[in-house]
Structure 1
């Protein structure tokens, strides 16, 4: 296997071990250990997300014009500094600064890492490269849960030190192994790169369609945990739910992706949306533990189908030399859909119960999946029409 891909996989593993052993406990630390309000904790988490996703188009363009290696290393080291700062500072201003640094680090390495995966893999093996990356990340998530359980009882500062060290290690590894220059660095200006991405209607539509995915996906962190506790009557059910999710992806991602490669990526994404919408409806309305776990299994299958395929399709739709810029803009779908999903997911759940419609959120999830399918189908139809017109012109 290409050594550059191995480094990217190792970095993905380190990122997820660090992130998921640290971030889930940050809010608890701010409110329980530092005795600040939950509003401050929410502001810190929101600021980290905005700092990352709000700047990704800019940092992606920088990566296209400079070096994936440099931008990945800068991003990982910057996030490492942010995570370390969380464990050292105790003031409100210090926590906000740590949040900005953590988000800025992600803004640098996320689009550059995805573009590097495209650059260092073949067009035939690209979807598999993203699938392997997804598996590696979820192995990291499982280990993170075990690691955090051991360390959080010792010291949040110790957890902060370990998490930041993993990002520092990943940054150094990228600098040592990855190529100094991109194989196809962009020669267009930053403004022109942004104009190119924003004036690409099919890609903008695709990004909007993927916002639906992130709305549905974020329920695993927002509303599914409360549903799990309601069914199992045990706070540990949150861990069991995430374990089913992560283990399913680790075990089935590669074989399902191998099977999915035979079909159109648009069709795979549409089927993935059917799995997500249907499984969330089952998870939301059932009171049976077995049905809940079956729903979570099929939710995981939906994620398996959509996420790597959407990344591979982003690479296909991007213009030469602007891959990181395109991935940077695609993160907007996470900011839009994920932000809305976190903001109104729990609100819809509570509001529905208050007005006598307890399944309002889950019906909304089905509706969003269907709207997203329609959007993907229209994009697919447009692409097919362009292909037919091209063939007619050639004849």
Structure 2
């Protein structure tokens, strides 16, 4: 009976990631279109607003994780759903009057980011607890893909489905699209309030306090997290992965533009990434479970570095006469394989870093460091790509700037993980 209950909860958590991404990607990909067409903003202003939205989410993950430690993961997931629903409702309301209200639209974009910062750490906490329980029940079985690998797959299903839903609703206007997103997140919140088990009383806890959403949380957990030098080092190294993967939204589109490919090719690239994720995430994770976290991190960061190395050091002539797209797809494939290797691995290591401490702040800090790296790194990368286009700097320099942090992570992250067990036993 207990096993069936835990299986149901795992199914709910994984399905929740799909639902979150359907609601998110049904709306957010159309924000740039609305800002350009309805609010008549220049591309620079559009990029600034969307960049602030991303940082509002990634930068507040530490706060969201700390709140989840204090008030419980389940509660913060429900609050996050409500905040994101309010954000989508603001987006819809900004176009209801005869004169579009930019301030309300911007506020709505910020609320969508705040909502994600509130519910994502909570979801990670519950998935980590479910993974720990599954590991304890199946210690004699062969190692297999972690729940975080399944989380990537279910999230990708939502990321593929969401834009299709948004495109179907687009004929009724963006207000309908955003209104659907608001109603969808309200429905998700109601579903989770009924489906997720309420926390048990503290006296009935059978698992360590650090790994349950219901356990009493010590205040100030984010301070403990920031004092953990080993984990800070890991966060700084792993930030290279999010910075690298974020180039799908910056460097790759600029490379397509440089090669005079139409914008529609970007859709094909993202479709290819979805195919890779849905078909290879589990095999990659099975291999990772067998070779261990240290080898997976080394290989994963190195694969991403090789992807950018295709742009930096491999002559285009090696890919044939029309080398542009085959070269880009080769680089994207390596980058995606690297991300599929290290991202679930890093998430699965967070509870080990936390030990007996609450995990929410740890998950939050990992994401916030990545968000800060993207915010600062994209400024430099964007400038270098523009200068490389004007031949003011060598063409390989922007890619080299992306390669070096990945090589450093490949070299040092495994050493941080190697001392992990000893550090936990001493804490």
Same fold? TM cut 0.5: yes
1:239 maps to which residue? Answer: 267
Per the normalisation by structure 2, the TM-score is 0.84
Pick the aligned partner of 1:361 from 398, 402, 413.
398
Deviations 1:102-161 (A, max 9, x none): 122111101111001011233638952111110011111112233333333441112112
1:224 maps to which residue? Answer: 252
CA distance change for structure 1 residues 127 and 190 in 2, over 3 Å: closer, same or farther?
A: farther
Aligned residue-pair number: 388
Pairing 1:1-395 to 2, within 5 Å after superposition: 2-89=7-94, 90-121=100-131, 122=133, 124=135, 128-181=146-199, 184=209, 185-191=214-220, 193-231=221-259, 233-283=261-311, 286=316, 287-354=323-390, 355-383=392-420
Query: How much has 1:50 moved relative to structure 2?
Result: 3.2
Deviations 1:64-92 (A, max 9, x none): 23222211011012101101211211323
Per mean C-alpha deviation after superposition, the further-off stretch among 44-53 and 6-15 is 44-53
Per the normalisation by structure 1, the TM-score is 0.90
Partners of 1:380 and 1:189 in 2: CA distance: 26
CA distance change for structure 1 residues 283 and 83 in 2, over 3 Å: closer, same or farther?
A: farther
Partners of 2:422 and 2:71 in 1: CA distance: 36
Per mean C-alpha deviation after superposition, the further-off stretch among 215-224 and 53-62 is 53-62
Query: How much has 1:220 moved relative to structure 2?
Result: 0.6
Structure 1 residue runs without a partner (length 5+): 391-395
Tell whether the 8 Å contact from 2:251 to 2:385 is kept in structure 1 after alignment: yes
CA distance change for structure 1 residues 226 and 134 in 2, over 3 Å: closer, same or farther?
A: same
CA distance change for structure 1 residues 382 and 319 in 2, over 3 Å: closer, same or farther?
A: closer
Structure 2 residue runs without a partner (length 5+): 1-5, 95-99, 136-142, 317-322
Per mean C-alpha deviation after superposition, the further-off stretch among 278-287 and 132-141 is 278-287
CA distance change for structure 1 residues 103 and 273 in 2, over 3 Å: closer, same or farther?
A: same
Tell whether the 8 Å contact from 1:229 to 1:237 is kept in structure 2 after alignment: no
Tell whether the 8 Å contact from 1:282 to 1:295 is kept in structure 2 after alignment: yes
Deviations 1:158-186 (A, max 9, x none): 21122222222221111111122275345
CA distance change for structure 1 residues 188 and 43 in 2, over 3 Å: closer, same or farther?
A: same
**What RMSD, in angstroms, separates the aligned Cα atoms of the two structures?**
2.4
Tell whether the 8 Å contact from 1:127 to 1:312 is kept in structure 2 after alignment: no
Per mean C-alpha deviation after superposition, the further-off stretch among 272-281 and 342-351 is 342-351
